[in-house]
Structure 1
């Protein structure tokens, strides 16, 4: 076996030196790469700590931060501004071999040439200082000289030892049994492939000694690692799919409130990018200090936290549930933030409250009037025929107002819940407008209003329900006449535009203030709240018009100026 072979052979020394050389070289490379990664990570972290005072020009604060970081991490730190001047420095730093120009253009740098490190006795990394997408300088982080010297002395000591050992056994190297060195070299190469995530290559050694057994174990390890990695990838993909399918926003942060994971729903809610958000502070992604403080409290106390926050400038209302994450030892290692957008829900609750208040008010007014006149009649007013007739006329008018209000509410409810059965057909809007005008002739004469139409003779027919389209024109003309002073003008225009026909109901009335324009189509909304009840308005007419037009597949808008009049413009699809 292999032990007997080594005992009978003088090649043991050479084999050991070769193995040590290969292993040391591999370990040295791994160690140097580890130092490079650590230095670069430290440089990125230090840059994030000084970027705010650097951007503000607070160089004294930068110096204090650098001193604290140097003591804490035992590193040499130098901060350089965009002109190449050193703002703060702890430890030795020579910028002769450092590509400052590239660093100040946004490129990270780290020493990788072992020979250069040996000559310069300097091991450093540098990154730009970025704040709000602008470079304000660079941070250079290096190992203290005594640490670099230790690495160099270890290298020199080892290489001198190996050199003299190999020199001593140079005559024996020619007789080294190749079935030992080659398999070991192959195993080292395969091990590197394993480290890189490649488990497809295996070792083939046809021997029954320890090397052969080791190769079999290495191949078995590769197979198990490959299976484990595939299972892990499947689980990771499943978790990602699960998070992507959840409609609530989910953000996972570590104990320092750095984002570890963010799902697509959360990205959409807060306007973030999942790849760019990883590793950043929560406050830099969601500019809301209430949320940041709530997460801080959860990490400190270890108890769940519920909160409603408002994200500006869109005024999104989010319901947030923060839960701590604990490791096996019971320590808090982070937290999960679950966010749900309840903006629409809050808006609907507000609309419901306003609707109930408005309906109650609209019903109470005529009922109070009816009750008052009935009580007056019962107390003896019915004995006076003239007075009784007058009171009954008022009661009839108020009852009619109640009837119209209830009918409007029922119509609006049917339209909004898609319960209204529409009879869509080709309708001649010109003929329908002429029919509607007849209804308002007397009112136009009574108020002394001028009326006209501007409708082409060949106006195309439109797709609509004739009865409900008639109601649209009645409601719009009624409003135009109601809010136009005596001597004013009311007119209707129609014009084909591509696949639609545009209608405009215009007047020279009192107009609508600019701040009220976005809300005129809301239920119960009145521009002139004091005068509308006197004019018989319930605030439902325009809401009904909007829903009817949209049920026809059209759109409606309003243009108006105070004391200059209004234009209600809506479109309907033209018949083919």
Structure 2
């Protein structure tokens, strides 16, 4: 059988009554104990005064203790008063109820005697006399002048017990007052319970979405609770209207979610999903390393953990005015996603996922092309400027040398023209790689021309170059990009290998798919920890030295991209003997 629970009014009544009873019982116990202690101390004080007075009279040589005690008994109606004199060694020298010769026990171990010896006075409320075998109330005083204990005692009989007991009149008054308070409080809680019952019925009807009005709460009258209840009814009516409006807006939101190009999901503060569209789960599965069966498993995807960590931290440290939003870019499984989380005031939150793979690829390609073109434009312009500056600063140049410099300037201007023409082609790489112009390129001739162009720089640094490339080595590719591969590798060696070094350009192998090249030097080399990153854009092994030499940090990145475009790959390692640097790369052969 189900146990019936207490109503709120009953619970309130019994709780307050229990607390009140504990308080009253504690107070009565304290008061009773305090009054009883007071009476004990009062009796002890009376006997102490007697002991002191008796000791004072003992100074008279004609004084008789026995007679004094007898008179004191009659005068104060204490017929059972017992007086004992004990010396410093605990021997009884006088007892008005028994001859001192019959007392053999040492009294120093008596409780009241020990206290009197330590503090000058002491008492024992209820102790059995070892001499008479009866219970007494003892009070003792020690007088060090004569090393004497004066002890008085009264039998612990019914008269003394009645005298020491506390007055119980205030107890009955307390019980009567408590009973009146119980009745008053019961009446108040019963009325409160009736009002709460009406409110409960109203809440039940509201929970069942039934129409309610102020007439449902007539029994509450014009009390504060009745006024509050009527306000609740008005609020409930407005909330029902707002609920209907929200339902219509929710339908609009659901429709928007389903047709949106973004993956969207809204969660309540407990991380339960409120709304989510199909794209959300599709994108999460593309991001995650394993298939997600249900939306509750989203919180286990490690790539999304920064968003959930942000939610947790924002809930702890939120202050008014904070923008509680976080953006995150995830590059995973060949896709790039833009994720964002927005935390609302009620701690619910929304997660949106956008597929920006195409936009990222286009932006990355445009950035890469722009940087590569800027770097490549600098080389021919610098060469032309150098040749022309030499001609202007040396008016006495021979006609042969002047013609040679002008021819080289013209060759660099042609290369500059070709680079500018390639800008539009490289821009279209994002749409289709085959749109870049591909022709037959004589690599052996191109490599010898590059070395000839760099003759002055090589001579200035006392560097030598060895070329071991088959004659008429023809590839099908983009002439400008192939030129950038060998030119940038040579520029890199000239800039960083060091004076007096040697550079080797070798086609060391070939197979049915392509040619295998090596460009190496015996210079200072690159520490092994940097080899894996030298192809990154703007990465510099020695930043200060690179800037001093005018490098942009893009040369080797251009080389890698050009190699990849021609179907190959490139790596770097220390050259033979552990000194210098060697680049190994492949380029696909001409397709028949």
- For normalisation by structure 1, the TM-score amounts to 0.38
TM normalised by structure 2 equals 0.37
* Bigger Rg, which one: 2
Higher relative contact order (CA 8 A, sep 6+): 1
